[in-house]
Amino acid sequence: MLSARSNLSMTRNISRFLILSALLFAAVPPIVPSFFTARAQAPTSTEILPLSEVRPGMQGYAYTIFAGDQVEKFDLEVIGIMPNFLGPSQTIILVQLKGPKVEHTGVVAGMSGSPVYFEGKLAGALSLKLGVFTKEPIGGVTPIEDIIRPQPQRSSENIPPQSQSQAPGAGAQQLALPQDAASRTGLPTGSALEPIETPLVFSGYQPAALRQFATQLESYGFVAAQGGTAAPKPDDAHLLPGDMAGMVLVQGDTSISSACTVTAIRSNQVYLCGHPFLSLGDVQFPMARTAVVATLSSELASTKIINVGGPIGTITGDHLTAVTGKLGASPPMIPIDLTLAVGGTEKKLHFEMVNHPKLTPLLMSLTVFNGLTQNVLYGEGTTLHLSGEVVVHGHAPVQIENTFAPGDSFSPDGLPVALNIQSVFARLFTNTREVPVFDRIALRVESVPGRQSFSIESAWLEKGEAAPGETLRVRVLLRPYRGPARVEETTVRVPDQATRGTTLRVLVTDGEMLNRASRGFSFGSAGGSNAGLDQLIVLLNRERRNDRLYVGLFAPTPTILWDDKELPNIPLSQINVIDGRPTPGTVQILRESLASESSIALGGPVSGVISLNLQIR
């Protein structure tokens, strides 16, 4: 699915998002029903027409919403049957849409899942479209037998709260080709049947924020659409075929939701879309009612402008032929509080987000960036101090603290804050022991005027030799950004067990360099994918901050790193008598051991490194 969509660039999708506001009122038909007006007659038949009885030339009809919550009928005709189109034994029905509205709009993004009837019987869901700039609206229908076929669901007891499967092979995962490979092997856009776009409705997100994540959004195949939110209504959960619903990814002061058409309802089971959203397999996402404000007709790609309504249940599956859900209670989400402080003024925002290893890191980064930069208190050219706490259920909380100074490029100054948050969550999800469940996330960003950053120009010891147990003063010459140089002083203590006649190394540096010097390759991966959550959290909390000057004293004795454990000054012969056998790749041996360290808080990012030698007499 994603490789077929790669021909439509995210730049074009974002451009469409940018102009939606200007075109909104022009796109509204002469009569636009309100969100909850009297409803048109929706389909009530539940009788199924088998694929074996569908023939070319059959006349039928389908239902969808063009505006408000009014389900409308449009006609269609079977052009042909295409066996093995979606995959082995996965047939689609090729149809031509007929009628004034669909001939004007063509196949519309958000129309996927529209129930299709022949001879008064439900035959399938409109799910595919044929190319772009086509003169005739031609689409593909997923047979209803494939949609309502029981999906390979796991029992709810095996699905952790707020989480989804990470196990290999869980759900029908689809792999996207690299962009150049897709362009060489993909079918011409005008002749390819591809899934109808499922709009990803961004409410409260500005185009400037989305543009910074265009590459990542494109890699997921998302089609950005502008939308809003509507207050929950008592009859939100009263769904009929042809209504619209979708999965909620973010809600609160901003929201991100998908939107497609309901194909069928069986008891409390809901079938939508007629194709996958992202082929995520078994999931636990909130399901919400959606309403159409208007349908925007476009020669490139018509789409529906959506308002997201109230919660109505849980999306339980995202598979090849349908998105499935259950009416009722919604699953819990991750509560997130974001505070921006400027001077004595604060602006607080609250969000809730799904917990998923593929989506949460990107959604966190995007939501934090948008909440920070699209804020009345925010301004470029200030130093941003990020602090916060990620409370992981059953584990110690992750402490976050870093400072980010503005740069000279056109990249927004708030982007490094968002990327730092994304990195933390991506690393938490790398563990293979358990799915992290987040109880609460609290983030605070304090804005300080000006660019507070420092570079290390020089450093010196009060003397070039010392005895074991002695404490030495270390002076460091720092150059603030566009400011006069200044000298900072700290101390470093020589360990009592230091061997006389040896040479120790004094490293004057920033936090990142000291992290790497003391943790090696395991710093970047927080211990590697074999580490459990406890080990990952210990390593994350142990990392030095970027707004401090560090002085580390290294002795020429080996250090053994084993997951989150540091074993300095250990003879190499002892590696084989460690209690338990480490798995391959979990142990790293460094040539030096960090004997002691000290730091000075400076209030802004520090960069640079100076190495000094200290003789032990």
Are 210 and 147 found together in one domain?
yes
> What is the model's pLDDT at position 185?
38
Non-local (6+) Cβ contacts of 208 within 8 A are 373, 374, 412
> What is the model's pLDDT at position 303?
78
Tell me which of 291, 312, 332 is where a domain ends.
332
> What is the model's pLDDT at position 571?
67
* Token pair 């605070």 in the structure block, residue: 444
Are 230 and 360 found together in one domain?
no
Are 206 and 92 found together in one domain?
yes
CATH of the domain at 389: 3.10.20
Are 152 and 270 found together in one domain?
yes
Non-local (6+) Cβ contacts of 338 within 8 A are 348, 349, 350, 351, 368, 371, 372, 443, 444, 445
Are 326 and 338 found together in one domain?
no
> What is the model's pLDDT at position 191?
60
What is the number of structural domains in the chain? 3
Residues of the chain scoring pLDDT < 50: 1-38, 40, 153-189, 523-529, 579-580
pTM of the model: 0.80
Tell me which of 424, 449, 474 is where a domain ends.
449
> What is the model's pLDDT at position 326?
96
Are 72 and 25 found together in one domain?
yes
Structural contact between residues 173 and 108, judged by C-beta atoms closer than 8 angstroms: no
User: Beta strands 281-296 and 454-461: pairing type?
Assistant: unpaired
> What is the model's pLDDT at position 505?
94
Q: Round to whole Å and give the CA distance between 607 and 610.
A: 10
Tell me which of 289, 306, 332 is where a domain ends.
332
> What is the model's pLDDT at position 564?
61
Are 276 and 128 found together in one domain?
yes
Are 190 and 218 found together in one domain?
yes
Summarize pLDDT for 116-141 with one digit per residue, the tens: 999 999 999 999 988 667 678 899 99
Q: What is the span of the domain harbouring residue 600?
A: 454-616
Are 413 and 326 found together in one domain?
no
CA 13, distance to chain mean position in Å, is 18
* Token pair 């709810």 in the structure block, residue: 156
> What is the model's pLDDT at position 179?
40
Are 343 and 278 found together in one domain?
no
Rg (CA), the chain: 29
> What is the model's pLDDT at position 560?
76
Structural contact between residues 609 and 513, judged by C-beta atoms closer than 8 angstroms: yes
How would DSSP label each residue in 266-328? Answer: ETTEEEESSS-SS--EEEEEEEEEEEEEEEE--SS--EEEEEEEEEEEEEEEE-SS-EEEEES
Are 233 and 286 found together in one domain?
yes
Are 395 and 480 found together in one domain?
no
Question: In the chain, what are the helix, strand and coil shares in percent, each to the nearest 5?
Answer: 20, 40, 40
User: Rounded to whole angstroms, what are the CA distances from 132 to 193, 261, 306?
Assistant: 10, 21, 22
